[in-house]
């Protein structure tokens, strides 16, 4: 057999969204276990020590690697799984970016032993800080044994972000659960500090759910109702909780083609199916498995994020809603509810006939490039006369006394209008600057810079604030935690459904941080969650908006000039990222026409 790993062409590699693959031990675990699954393993053993800090080990009985492949595997964009961009639409493996092992060996000590079935002898490799330290032949079983030691030993900033061993272990287990629940055909073992904490034999999906969440005293899956529907567009199967079993600690999982995913929109379909059946603070458990043609979804999301785009979300929403409604109706699970309030219970109509949904044909644009960021506010969308307003300052600001007119020129008289706008005379007309948005633009750029440099200034709260969250918000927050920390939030999980806010970004002030955080969470959810490339920008924008001087605030001349000079330093655009206008000019022509 020949070696099977090859390097992706640069063009493809560059298309693949770069990003930090390894944020914490749990993300490392995910990558290792997914590799084992891709290698066809039927038994995967996970060993961790000290919350994954000192050791994260994954042993599989998969197909193993040749000595050359074992070495190649740690190169960036080395993958055996895809060869060209088009393959991304035919994805049948968990991995494809070829960056996980390269990222891991850059930030940890890695030791791997591996052997293929056809090889008599295996290979042992030691790598630290991306350098191969040893490679030798060794006796070992078929499969791969990856030991990742001392994660982030050379990245103090990342190490600092790690939480207590207990919290990291919880994250590891959460990640492990997301994988084992959708791979019941694989046997798993999880060992923490030499203690077996999970042993899962090969079984059915339902038995796997029971094994993960059940207690011997109380069967978990007896509270679930089966759902199943096959349409041209998508196959859906899974289990949804009986309404009367809903509680505050529901387990909610969705998977597509063997991957865990978060999908706020489909979540809404589920919640709609339950509407009227639940007391407001309770939510149902669900485990939904979607199967869909690989080219109808876009998994090329940030490697550590779990949002997945579907080509036809609305149709799937309807299919899911109808399927769950039917299941809840068919099993007549609704009437046992006992509401104290006068809430009217809307009973879903039990349908005897199978639901008939004509699945729409897939409309997949073959030229659609999921990696391309669609910039909604490009220069083209600006009126022509505004193009390059700041690229060619001489055009707009040509001024005899000071040819390179600056917004902050001390000689230009400026004034504040209605405590909202700063008025600046220019050669071309009267420039109006929206004070709140101008400040937002300034802070936004600063925050993005912070995210890039991972340096923040925060202000510790005298009394930590406790923020209670729904399951959904909880997940979003966990997905963004590293970025929030970089922005200056210091958060700790306080209970299964709450966080304590210990510190906030300096400029935010200590006023109502919970509300700000919730706004960021919801804003991120509304704009497609942490999956989109723009989510960090969205988060920074929301935060900047919160921090910026409000409308209605009287500004001194010094404050105004300071604002203008900071704005000018950034070569600002006329618009905020959300399309709002920051700067406008009432031109001389327009003024002239009025007379």
Within 10 angstroms of residue 222's Cβ, the number of other Cβ atoms is: 10
Shortest Å distance, C-beta 364 to ligand ADP: 23
Instruction: Pick between residue 67 and residue 95 the one whose CB is nearest to Mg ion.
Output: 95
Residues 477-516 that bind ligand ADP (CB under 6 A): none
Compute the distance between CA of residue 365 and CA of residue 410 in angstroms, rounded to an integer: 54
Residues in binding contact with ligand ADP, number by CB under 6 A:
25
Tell me which DSSP letter residue 579 carries.
S
> Are 422 and 413 a contacting pair, CB within 8 Å?
no
Tokens coding 436 = 């709140």
- Contact between 28 and ligand ADP per CB under 6 A: no
Backbone angles phi, psi at 380, to 5 degrees: -60, -25
Instruction: Pick between residue 100 and residue 567 the one whose CB is nearest to Mg ion.
Output: 100
Residue 122 interacting entry, from Mg ion, ligand ADP, none, C-beta within 5 to 8 Å by type? none
- Contact between 323 and ligand ADP per CB under 6 A: no
Instruction: Pick between residue 91 and residue 560 the one whose CB is nearest to ligand ADP.
Output: 91
Tokens coding 409 = 């020129």
Q: Pick the stretch among 7-15, 22-30, 35-43, 496-504 that binds ligand ADP (CB under 6 A).
A: 35-43
Shortest Å distance, C-beta 74 to ligand ADP: 7
CA nearest to 530, candidates 475, 487, 573:
475
Tokens coding 16 = 């693949």
CA nearest to 39, candidates 67, 72, 80:
80
Under 8 Å CB-to-CB from 502, ≥6 apart: which residues?
Answer: 460, 461, 464, 490, 491, 492
- Contact between 122 and ligand ADP per CB under 6 A: no
- Contact between 147 and ligand ADP per CB under 6 A: no
Residues 37-66 that bind ligand ADP (CB under 6 A): 38-39, 60, 62-65
- Contact between 183 and ligand ADP per CB under 6 A: no
- Contact between 101 and ligand ADP per CB under 6 A: yes
- Contact between 144 and ligand ADP per CB under 6 A: yes
Residue 96 interacting entry, from Mg ion, ligand ADP, none, C-beta within 5 to 8 Å by type? ligand ADP
Compute the distance between CA of residue 146 and CA of residue 95 in angstroms, rounded to an integer: 16
Backbone angles phi, psi at 410, to 5 degrees: -65, -20
Instruction: Pick between residue 103 and residue 577 the one whose CB is nearest to Mg ion.
Output: 103
Could you give the C-alpha distances from 256 to 233, 290, 299, 473, in angstroms and in order? 13, 5, 10, 21
- Contact between 98 and ligand ADP per CB under 6 A: yes
**540, 541, 547, 553 alpha-carbon torsion, rounded to 10°:** 170
Determine the straight-line distance between the first and last CA of the chain, rounded to whole angstroms.
86
Q: Pick the stretch among 71-79, 157-165, 193-201, 291-299 that binds ligand ADP (CB under 6 A).
A: 71-79
- Contact between 188 and ligand ADP per CB under 6 A: no
> Are 401 and 427 a contacting pair, CB within 8 Å?
no
Instruction: Pick between residue 5 and residue 162 the one whose CB is nearest to Mg ion.
Output: 5
Residue 572 interacting entry, from Mg ion, ligand ADP, none, C-beta within 5 to 8 Å by type? none
- Contact between 273 and ligand ADP per CB under 6 A: no
Binding site for ligand ADP (CB under 6 A): 5, 31, 35-36, 38-39, 60, 62-65, 73, 78-81, 95-102, 144
């Amino acid at each position: 057999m020949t070696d099977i790993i090859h390097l992706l062409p640069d063009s493809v590699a560059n298309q693949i969204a770069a990003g930090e693959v390894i944020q914490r031990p749990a993300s490392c675990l995910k990558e290792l276990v997914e590799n084992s699954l891709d290698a066809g393993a039927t038994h995967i053993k996970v060993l961790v020590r000290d919350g994954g800090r000192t050791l994260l080990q994954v042993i599989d009985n998969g197909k193993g690697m040749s000595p050359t492949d074992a070495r190649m595997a740690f190169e960036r964009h080395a993958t055996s799984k895809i060869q060209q961009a088009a393959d991304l639409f035919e994805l049948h493996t968990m991995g494809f970016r070829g960056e996980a092992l390269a990222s891991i060996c850059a930030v940890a000590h890695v030791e791997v032993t591996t052997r293929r079935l056809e090889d008599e002898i295996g290979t042992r490799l030691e790598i630290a800080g991306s350098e191969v330290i040893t490679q030798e032949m060794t006796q070992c079983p078929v499969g791969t044994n990856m030991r990742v030691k001392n994660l982030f030993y050379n990245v103090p900033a990342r190490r600092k972000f790690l939480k207590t061993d207990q919290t990291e272990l919880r994250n590891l287990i959460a990640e492990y659960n997301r994988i084992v629940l959708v791979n019941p055909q694989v046997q798993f073992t999880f060992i923490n500090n030499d203690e077996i904490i999970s042993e899962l034999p090969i079984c059915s999906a339902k038995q796997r759910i029971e094994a993960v969440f059940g207690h011997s005293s109380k069967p978990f899956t007896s509270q679930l109702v089966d759902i199943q529907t096959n349409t041209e567009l998508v196959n859906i199967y899974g289990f949804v909780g009986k309404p009367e079993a809903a509680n505050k600690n529901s387990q909610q999982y969705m998977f597509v083609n063997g991957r865990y995913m978060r999908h706020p929109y489909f979540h809404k379909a589920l919640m709609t199916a339950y509407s009227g059946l639940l007391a407001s603070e309770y939510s149902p458990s669900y485990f939904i498995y979607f199967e869909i043609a690989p080219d109808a979804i876009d998994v090329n999301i940030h490697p550590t994020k779990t949002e997945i785009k579907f080509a036809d979300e609305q149709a799937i929403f309807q299919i899911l809603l109808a399927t769950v409604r039917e299941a809840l109706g068919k099993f007549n699970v609704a009437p046992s509810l006992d509401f104290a309030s006068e809430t009217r219970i809307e009973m879903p109509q039990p349908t005897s006939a199978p639901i008939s949904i004509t699945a729409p044909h897939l409309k997949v644009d073959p030229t659609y490039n999921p990696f391309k960021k669609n910039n909604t506010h490009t220069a083209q969308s600006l009126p022509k006369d505004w193009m390059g307003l700041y690229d060619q300052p001489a055009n707009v600001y040509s001024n005899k006394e000071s040819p390179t007119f600056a917004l902050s020129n001390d000689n230009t008289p400026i004034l504040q209008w209605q405590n909202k706008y700063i008025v600046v005379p220019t050669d071309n007309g009267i420039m109006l600057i929206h004070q709140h948005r101008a400040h937002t633009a300034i802070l936004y750029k600063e925050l993005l810079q912070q995210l890039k440099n991972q340096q923040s200034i925060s202000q510790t709260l005298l009394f930590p604030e406790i923020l209670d969250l729904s399951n959904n918000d909880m997940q979003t927050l966990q997905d963004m935690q590293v970025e929030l920390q970089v922005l200056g939030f210091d958060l700790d999980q306080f209970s299964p459904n709450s966080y304590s806010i210990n510190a906030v970004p300096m400029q935010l002030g200590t006023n109502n941080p919970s509300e700000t955080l919730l706004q960021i969470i919801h804003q991120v959810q509304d704009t497609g969650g942490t999956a989109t490339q723009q989510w960090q920008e969205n988060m920074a924008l929301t935060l900047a908006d919160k921090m910026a001087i409000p409308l209605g605030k009287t500004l001194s001349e010094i404050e105004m000039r300071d604002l203008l000079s900071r704005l000018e330093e950034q070569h600002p655009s006329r618009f905020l990222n959300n399309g709002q206008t920051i700067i406008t000019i009432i031109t001389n022509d327009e003024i002239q026409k009025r007379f």
